[in-house]
Amino acid sequence: MLPTAPFSVRMTHNQAAKRFRAAVQHAFLTALFLASPPAAATAAETPDILLVTVDTLRADRLSGYGYSRPTSPNLDRLMATGARFTEARTVEPLTNPALTSLVTSLYPHEHGATRNGLRMRPELQSLPKVLDERGYRTAAFVSNWTLKDSISGLSEHFERYEEVLTKKRWFGFFKGEATAEDVNEAALTWLSETAGRRRPVFAWVHYTEPHAPYLHQRDQGKRLGIDGSTKENRYDSEIGFVDEKIGDLLEALPRSRRGTLVVFTSDHGESLGEHDYWGHGRNLYEPGLHVPLSISWPGVIDPAKITAPALLTDIAPTVLGLLGLDIPQSFRGYDWSAVLRHGQAPPEQRTSLFQAHKGAVLSNQEAGNARRAGLLEVGILRDGNKEVLRLTNDRHRLFDLAEDPGERSNLSEEGIDESEALRQWRDLVISGLERTEGLPPADVDPESVEKLKALGYIN
């Protein structure tokens, strides 16, 4: 029987290497595309569904995740009404790839949108498409230039796809994002128009705060007792600001006789100086991967804290599973509905898989080979042990997150080589990227180039 105890730095190097390889390789092929069967529903259940995503939001800066500052009182109350996942991660720490993975339940090398500025494959199956087929009206309200349909391809999946771009970015002269108030106004207008009608609704609302450059929100700074003298303080004040606006959205939601299923998460986290890095997207350290995730459905999902590993790709199959709907075979994520509704044991031994790519594609010429050439890192996580390979220099990193949550001690430097599972994952990602070379090149117009540069999405 394979050992189940966490890997420990107190083992000998040979023992540690054998245990790590055995555990990861045993799980790799079975857990790579792990999905549980959908939970059966005794009757048609069609709640309204609200998906709330916040750009660049680290889980550990929310008070509901133990942060010392009360940054997120409204989100804390929301998460307390349902299941809160403590070990949720993105599959890639970049906006367009991550959110495309969320709606399609595919990895970036499969859906093709591996970088900001690269469109996803056309005609893929997705959560909003399945809901539309089952009678839902679907809408998205996005506030980040990288999610514009012309450079993401996401509007194909929604009845209404509204790009809310009302605010200037990085002190520039163009409008590349929106304030949370403007996003709320757009979303609530549509929700009010559809309220009370026979068809249920699925609405995705994406907020840009607290994305860099971290503006100081004075009212929130006063509430939190902080000034705007540091980046960390400004980041926290932005979280407080978006939390307040999400509270406004939840309070103003039209009351639904169907009830409302609310999913809250982030596209990725943010490095705030850890490993001498500010930002996100270029590596697979925990500050960029770890995200908040909660699923609330009063009367159906009991409040719970789930410590088993979760991924953004799990959201689509889980929502369909909760509704008792069939899950497309293409979906790669895990369906948590049996855990949430029926107390099934969570997949504690699950293997999580990640990839990191360069930032934005800034020219049509570059776009021809941008997917394969843009791959930076691949990673794999099991039993609290994270293994990462950087393809640009073949550097291997191995961390025991239980013993070393800050990822400071690279066990690979002490004689442990990369596992066969990590090499298999690397090869699978590369082969998938090579298959995308036949996709039409991205239409990166000059306006988008300038806006992507101004947003900080550069190589």
Give the pair of three-digit tokens for residue 398: 């191995």
Please report the pLDDT score of residue 13 as a whole number: 43
Strands (DSSP E) along 55-174, which ranges?
83-89, 137-142, 160-163, 167-168
Average pLDDT over residues 139-154: 90
Strands (DSSP E) along 247-400, which ranges?
260-266, 271-272, 278-279, 290-296, 304-306, 310-311, 352-357, 375-382, 385-390, 395-400
| Paired strand residues for 290 | 89
The C-alpha atoms of residue 153 and residue 121 are separated, in whole angstroms, by 8
Q: What is the CA radius of gyration of the chain?
A: 21
* pTM for the structure as a whole: 0.88
| Paired strand residues for 16 | none
More confident site: 364 or 153: 153
| Paired strand residues for 167 | 177
For the cut 80, the answer to whether the pLDDT of residue 31 exceeds it is no
pLDDT band for 453, please (50, 70, 90 cuts).
low
**Least confident interval from 129-133, 311-315, 361-365:** 361-365
The C-alpha atoms of residue 77 and residue 142 are separated, in whole angstroms, by 24
**Least confident interval from 147-161, 242-256, 445-459:** 445-459
Q: Is residue 340 within 8 Å of 83, Cβ to Cβ? A: yes
pLDDT, one tens digit per residue, over 356-395 is 999 877 555 455 578 888 999 999 999 999 999 999 899 9
- What phi and psi values does residue 271 have, to the nearest 5 degrees? -85, 125
For the cut 50, the answer to whether the pLDDT of residue 11 exceeds it is no
What's the length of the chain?
459
pLDDT, one tens digit per residue, over 344-357 is 999 999 999 999 99
Q: How far is CA 81 from CA 62, 84, 374, in A?
A: 16, 9, 41
Q: How far is CA 172 from CA 29, 451, 455, in A?
A: 48, 9, 9
The C-alpha atoms of residue 260 and residue 134 are separated, in whole angstroms, by 17
Average pLDDT over residues 416-420: 89
**Least confident interval from 144-148, 279-283, 368-372:** 368-372
3-state secondary structure 121-150: CCCCCCHHHHHHHCCCEEEEEECEHHHCHH
**Least confident interval from 35-39, 116-120, 137-141:** 35-39
Q: What is the DSSP letter of 429?
A: H
Task: State whether residue 151 is helix, strand or coil.
Answer: helix
- For residue 128, the Cα-to-chain-centroid distance in whole angstroms is 17
pLDDT, one tens digit per residue, over 67-88 is 999 999 999 999 999 999 999 9
